[in-house]
Amino acid sequence: MPATVVVGTQWGDEGKGKLTDLLAREMDLVVRYQGGHNAGHRIVVDGEATALQLVPSGVLYEHITPVIGNGVVVDPAVLLGELDALAAKGVDVSRVVVSGNAHLIMPYHQELDRLTERFLGKNALGTTKRGIGPAYADKASRVGLRVQDLLDPKIFRQKLDVVLHEKNLVLTKVYNRPALSAEELAATYLEQYAPRVAPMVADTVSLLHEALARGQRLLLEGAQATFLDLDHGTYPFVTSSNPVAGGACTGSGLGPRDLSAIVGIAKAYVTRVGAGPFPTELEGDLADRLVERGQEFGTNTGRRRRVGWFDAVLGRQAARLNSLTEIALTKLDVLDELDEIRVCVGYEAAGVRYDHPPYHQSVLHEVAPIYETLPGWRQDLSGVTTYDELPDAARDYVRFLADAIGVPITVVGVGPGREQFVRPS
């Protein structure tokens, strides 16, 4: 049985956690394939919220094996803290496995993320300051430490000494910060973290392929989203990994033919955290109302999210970049009180119409959205349990989005709870 991918189609926080949890009922393994604890995936079960950063969202089910794939960057302190917090809530975390090839986030990565952001001043990206960019940069520069290095103290120390020498020169000479101690770092990673992480380390490539061969069902959970993708997003206002569905292969070790369904997640409007272009962005009272109703604050960072109208130009591009087979639309209920809802169906700049994002970033910064206006439904959707119960205007809105993107919408979210979704028949 091949694998299903869950991928964000906007700028993150579309509800990947909720959808992964929902689909995981029918799965055997859930795999995170990129990103790190910059992600915040919130799941609400019986009114109780769980916010996950590194642990795959299927963890709440006892039948799921949660896998942290090779494409993820792992801060062991965060991973262990998250596992402890889940265990304290009664969640069985004994099945969590981590790829030995995943890279480690080290304290100097976090320090450099903070310092670089400060150095950039008004040009800062608004990163989560979790060390994600510097950790992936070291991976690409081939000076990263990997999870498997925790299992070999000699190698760990050798690699750390080499890389820390250079990091300390940057910290002290460029940023005038104190040097970090290799002794202390090695003690923390090898004595505190390694004994707890070691039992979780696995050859996840073999694990996943053996699971496929047994006919088990795999769900690949993306973090971040298509327009935060390092290659296809609004560079440089992106994250440092590849959230697009192709990243699910490199970040897990599955081959492209192992993927069957690619489910794109889209909010019924758009949000973005941090800097970068956002053609349909709203400001003023309407933005405040959407932020308030949608509780648009970062799941882990608490930052207020920017909000805007649904952007079908991005949707169409996400359909191409990810080979989307279907879309799950979330947070339709947040639009309940609006008289009218706008949808961006194209962009216009210097007399040219764009149905897909212009490749030149300078043009993207200048585009004016072309809107179609649809009537609102002014009705509370949170208690709706079947698609047919949705008011006509809500169903028309869903159909309009599916047509504008050219991909069927197969799940519609009407509230944060695990049961709050309906499926078009």
The residues of the shown chain that bind Mg ion, judged by CB under 5 A, are 13, 40, 299
With both helix axes pointing from N to C terminus, report the angle between 107-120 and 153-169 in degrees, rounded to the nearest 10: 20
User: Does 75 participate in binding ligand GDP (rule CB under 6 A)?
Assistant: no
Minimum gap (Å) between residue 252 Cβ and ligand GDP: 18
Minimum gap (Å) between residue 267 Cβ and Mg ion: 11
231 catalytic residue (yes or no): no
User: Does 224 participate in binding ligand IMO (rule CB under 6 A)?
Assistant: yes
From residue 19, give the alpha-carbon distance in Å to each of 13, 46, 53, 56, 205.
Answer: 11, 16, 15, 12, 24
Question: What binding mask, one character per residue, do residues 106-125 give for ligand IMO by CB under 6 A, x or -?
Answer: -------------------x
Which single residue is written with the structure tokens 């973090």?
A: 223
User: Does 299 participate in binding ligand GDP (rule CB under 6 A)?
Assistant: yes
User: Does 414 participate in binding ligand GDP (rule CB under 6 A)?
Assistant: yes
User: Does 413 participate in binding ligand IMO (rule CB under 6 A)?
Assistant: no
User: Does 134 participate in binding ligand IMO (rule CB under 6 A)?
Assistant: no
Say how many residues make up the chain: 425
Question: What binding mask, one character per residue, do residues 280-319 give for ligand IMO by CB under 6 A, x or -?
Answer: -------------------x--------------------
**CB-nearer residue toward ligand IMO: 91 or 125:** 125
Asked whether 245 and 262 are in contact (CB, 8 A), the reply is yes
Asked whether 239 and 228 are in contact (CB, 8 A), the reply is yes
Contact with ligand IMO (CB under 6 A) among 9, 20, 38, 317: 38
Query: 208 Cβ partners below 8 Å, 6+ apart?
Result: 29, 31, 67, 218, 252, 253, 254
Contact with ligand GDP (CB under 6 A) among 5, 10, 11, 13: 13
Contact with ligand GDP (CB under 6 A) among 35, 69, 100, 413: 413
* Residue ranges in 310-369 that form contacts with ligand GDP under rule CB under 6 A: 330-331, 333-334
Which single residue is written with the structure tokens 């169903």?
A: 395
Minimum gap (Å) between residue 301 Cβ and Mg ion: 9
Minimum gap (Å) between residue 390 Cβ and ligand GDP: 13
Angle at 154 between CA 152 and CA 105, to 5 degrees: 65
User: What type of residue sits at position 110?
Assistant: Q
Minimum gap (Å) between residue 300 Cβ and ligand IMO: 8
**CB-nearer residue toward Mg ion: 20 or 101:** 20
User: What type of residue sits at position 94?
Assistant: S
Separation of alpha carbons 263 and 423, rounded Å: 14
For 78, the token pair is 């965060």
13 catalytic residue (yes or no): yes
Asked whether 349 and 365 are in contact (CB, 8 A), the reply is no
Separation of alpha carbons 112 and 413, rounded Å: 38
For 143, the token pair is 């000076």
Alpha helices by DSSP H, listed for 104-216, are 107-120, 132-141, 153-169, 182-186, 194-197, 204-213
From residue 348, give the alpha-carbon distance in Å to each of 233, 357, 358, 405.
Answer: 20, 10, 10, 18
Which of Mg ion, ligand IMO, ligand GDP, none does residue 146 bind to, with CB < 5 to 8 Å depending on kind? none
Binding range to ligand IMO, per CB under 6 A, among 32-40, 200-208, 364-372, 416-424: 32-40
Q: Other C-beta atoms within 10 Å of 320: how many?
A: 12
* Residue ranges in 25-64 that form contacts with ligand GDP under rule CB under 6 A: 39-42, 44
User: Does 222 participate in binding ligand GDP (rule CB under 6 A)?
Assistant: no
Query: 416 Cβ partners below 8 Å, 6+ apart?
Result: 18, 42, 44, 49
Asked whether 23 and 5 are in contact (CB, 8 A), the reply is no
Out of 21, 28, 37, 41, which one is annotated catalytic?
41
Q: Binding residues for ligand IMO, how many (CB under 6 A)?
A: 24
Q: What residue is closest to ligand GDP based on CB? A: 413
Catalytic residues: 13, 41
Footprint of ligand IMO (CB under 6 A):
8, 12-13, 38-41, 125-128, 130, 132-133, 223-225, 228, 237, 239-240, 273-274, 299
Residues forming the site for ligand GDP (CB under 6 A): 8, 12-18, 39-42, 44, 299, 330-331, 333-334, 413-416
